[in-house]
Amino acid sequence: MRKNKLNRIVNHVPHFILSLILAGGIILFGFLGNVYHTVEEGESLWTIAARHYSDGSEWERFEQREDPDLIYPGEVIKIPIEL
């Protein structure tokens, strides 16, 4: 039932408007380029990378760190987003 309602709404929205919304999102993320993540208790760079990149081994893409084993709750990590 819910899916049918969504389909009816989407079918009434002109496709060019949907295209503009999608293009705007891509442009917005292209300009921003980064996401900031506040470390919580029990997290590691691996778990944070897995959440943002779907692969924990991608943690090396985060900003350069002198000792990647030392992260602390409350620390803010810059996570580059590439489209």
What Rg value do the Cα atoms of the chain yield, rounded?
Answer: 18
Tokens of 15: 């496709």
Q: What is the pLDDT of residue 34?
A: 81
Q: What is the pLDDT of residue 73?
A: 92
Q: Which residues contact 83 (CB under 8 A, 6 or more apart)?
A: 26, 29, 30
pTM here is 0.57
Report the length, in residues, of the chain.
83
What is the rounded distance in angstroms from the CA atom of residue 14 to the CA atom of residue 53? 32
C-alpha distances out from residue 5 to 13, 14, 17, 19, 37, Å? 13, 16, 19, 20, 35
pLDDT band at residue 53 using 50, 70 and 90 as cut-offs = confident
